[in-house]
Amino acid sequence: MRPIIPDYLIEVLKDVESDTSGAPAGYIPELAAADPERLGVAFATIEGEVYGAGDIDTEFTIQSISKPFVYAMALSDRGFDSVLARVGVEPSGEAFNQISLERDTGRPLNPMINAGAITVHSLVGTADLEPSARVARVIGGLSAFASRPLATDETVRASEMAHAHRNLAMAHMLRSHGILTEDAHAVVDGYTRQCSVLVTTRDLAIMAATLANRGTNPLSGEQVVPEPVVRQVLSVMFSCGMYDAAGDWATQVGIPAKSGVAGGLIGALPGQIGIAAFSPRLDRHGNSVRGVSLFERFSSDMGMHLMDIPTIARAVVRSSHTIGSGPHALQILELQGGIGFAGAESVLRAMDASFLENRLALDLTRVHSIDDVARRMLLEATSRLTLDGHDIYLVDPESVIPDPGDGGRLTEVDTVHQAMNPPYATAQHGSQRRREGLGQ
Ligand code: GLN
C-alpha cells in the first residue's frame, strides 16, 4: 500500500509551495541570508512515528520556538509561584519584540513575547547558576525534548547579538523593575544562545509531540517535564503563541502553537500529535507564511481545531434490565465506552430512575475508560445506595476502576452471572457481612 499520510503531506506542500509572499527576518542579518525556498513539514505521533515531506532534516535556528520549552523548564525548576510572580500569562496583542511591561508590577505580559522569554531564561535552574551553566541546562533541556543532543549556530548567534539592541533595552528595563535580578547583558547573551539552537523540522515535530504526550518524549520515553507544567505551557501557547495574530490563529486553526523568526512553526495537539513546519518567509507578525497556510489546511482537513466538538459519544448507558423476581431480582445497568462527567451524570440518573430492585449490578464490561471525576461520582452513588441498604455489584473484568474504594461498599464480580448465582446468590447477606466488617 502506498503510504497515505506522507502522500497527503506531499500534496499539501505542493499546494503552498507557489506562495512566495513575505520575507525572511531582516533584523538578524544572518537569517536574512537563509534560502527562502526551503519547505518542510512533519507529523510526530505520541507513539513516536514520524511522517514528513520536504526538507525535514535541514537544520535552522529554533528562535522563539524555544520559548515554550524553556518556560516549561523554568516552571519545573522554580515552581509556578515564583515564575508567575515575574512573568504573566495574558496575551499582549502586540508584536513579539514590543518593549512593554505590565503597568503596576513591571512584569512582562507573557512568556512568549521577548520580554517574557528573556525573564524566563533567567529563571531556569537554581538562582545561583552561572550564566554558562544556565545555557547548558537550557540546551540540555531542549535536547531532552528532541531526544538528541542539539548544538548552537555560532554565526546566527553572533549576528543576532551584534544587533540585539531592543532585547538589551528590554532586559535593562526588566532589571530596573527588579524583575531581572542578574546582569542584563549576560541574560540576553544566554537568551540569544537559546534562540540559536539548531533543530530540524523532524526535531520540532518530536518536541511538539512531547508536549502532546503529557511531557513524555515518545522516542526516549523520558518524562522531560511534569504534566501540570505541560498544561500550563499549552494553555499559554494557545492564547499567546502567535503574538498579535493569536486571536486569528485560535479561531481559524485552534491548535496550541509557536512560531520562530527562522521560519519554524510548531503545533501540539494534546493526546494526538506534534506538528512542525519550516519555511523562512514571514508575514508581518513574524510567523512563517507557508507554515501558517499548512496549519490552516491541517486544521480544516483533519478536524484538528481543539474547539471542534467531538461527535457525541454513544450513550454511556447501553441497557437497563431486570433479571429474576422477588428479593433476588437483580437490576443490571450495562454501561459502555469512555465515561467522563457528562456520562457519569447520565448513569446517576439511570440509577435513580431504574433502581426499583434491592440489588443492582453496574456492568462495566464494555467500558474502556473512566476518568477521575466520573469514577468518584459512581463510587459516591454506590456508597450512598449501600448505606441505604441496597446491594451493589460492580462487574469489572478489566478493572477500569482499579480500586473501588475502602471495601464494604461494593461487591466486585467478574461477570453478571456471578452476581446472579452462588456464591453471591445470598449476596444480600454477603454484602451485609461486608458492611458489618467495615464497622469492626
Ligand atoms: N531571537 C529572536 C529575538 O529575540 C526570536 C524572535 C522570534 O523568533 N520571534 O528577536
Assess contact for 91 and 244: CB atoms under 8 A: no
Nearest CA residue ID for atom 6, ligand 1: 64
Per the annotation, the verdict on 51 as an active-site residue is no
Assess contact for 411 and 359: CB atoms under 8 A: no
Query: 114 alpha carbon to ligand 1 midpoint, in Å?
Result: 7
- pLDDT of amino acid 205: 98
- pLDDT of amino acid 406: 57
pLDDT averages per 10-residue partition of the chain, 440 residues: 90 97 92 93 97 97 98 98 97 87 92 97 96 98 98 97 96 96 97 98 98 98 98 97 90 96 97 97 95 96 87 80 86 93 90 74 94 92 86 91 70 85 45 32
- Domain assignments of the chain as residue spans, ordered by start: 5-302, 317-432
Residues 6+ positions from 344 with CB-CB distance below 8 Å: 316, 370, 373, 374, 377, 378
- pLDDT of amino acid 356: 63
- pLDDT of amino acid 417: 85
Nearest C-alpha neighbor of 69 from the set 129, 128, 131, 124? 124
Residues 6+ positions from 209 with CB-CB distance below 8 Å: 44, 45, 46, 48, 217, 218, 268, 273, 274
CA distance 228 to 407: 31
Q: Which of 96, 110, 153 to mutate to test the pocket of ligand 1 (most atoms within 8 A of CB)?
A: 96
Query: 407 alpha carbon to ligand 1 midpoint, in Å?
Result: 57
CA torsion sign, 121 to 192 to 214 to 346? positive
Active-site residue, selected from the candidate residues 51, 66, 67, 187: 67
CA distance 50 to 189: 34
User: Does the CB atom of residue 174 touch ligand 1 within 6 A?
Assistant: no
CA distance 204 to 344: 38
Grid cell 508584536 — which residue?
95
- pLDDT of amino acid 324: 86
- Superfamily (CATH H level) for 317-432: STAS domain (3.30.750.24)
Strand intervals (E) in 147-241: 198-199
Query: 277 alpha carbon to ligand 1 midpoint, in Å?
Result: 17
SS3 state at 89? coil
CA torsion sign, 371 to 373 to 376 to 381? negative
- Give CB contacts under 8 A, 24+ apart, made by 423-432: 424/393, 425/328, 427/359, 427/391, 427/393, 428/327, 428/358, 428/359, 428/391, 431/386, 431/391, 431/392
Cβ neighbours around 118 below 10 Å, total: 27
Q: What is the pTM of this model?
A: 0.87
Active-site residue, selected from the candidate residues 71, 191, 393, 424: 191
CA distance 190 to 138: 9
Cβ neighbours around 218 below 10 Å, total: 21
- pLDDT of amino acid 422: 46
Q: Which of 62, 94, 114 to mutate to test the pocket of ligand 1 (most atoms within 8 A of CB)?
A: 114
Query: 285 alpha carbon to ligand 1 midpoint, in Å?
Result: 12
Per the annotation, the verdict on 14 as an active-site residue is no
- pLDDT of amino acid 74: 98
Helices (H), ranges, 36-126 = 66-78, 80-84, 114-122
> Which residues, listed in sequence order, are joined to residue 335 by a DSSP beta bridge?
317
Identity of the amino acid at 85: A
User: Does the CB atom of residue 194 touch ligand 1 within 6 A?
Assistant: no
Assess contact for 52 and 275: CB atoms under 8 A: no
Per the annotation, the verdict on 67 as an active-site residue is yes
Architecture of domain 5-302: 3-Layer(aba) Sandwich (3.40)
CA distance 347 to 288: 48
- pLDDT of amino acid 145: 98
- DSSP-derived secondary structure letter, 48: S
User: Does the CB atom of residue 116 touch ligand 1 within 6 A?
Assistant: no
- pLDDT of amino acid 403: 78
Query: 27 alpha carbon to ligand 1 midpoint, in Å?
Result: 10
- pLDDT of amino acid 312: 63
- pLDDT of amino acid 347: 92
Ligand 1 atom with least separation from CA of 64: 8
- pLDDT of amino acid 135: 98
Instruction: Let me know how many helices (H) and strands (E) the chain has, helices first.
Output: 17, 12
Strand intervals (E) in 22-64: 40-45, 50-54, 60-61
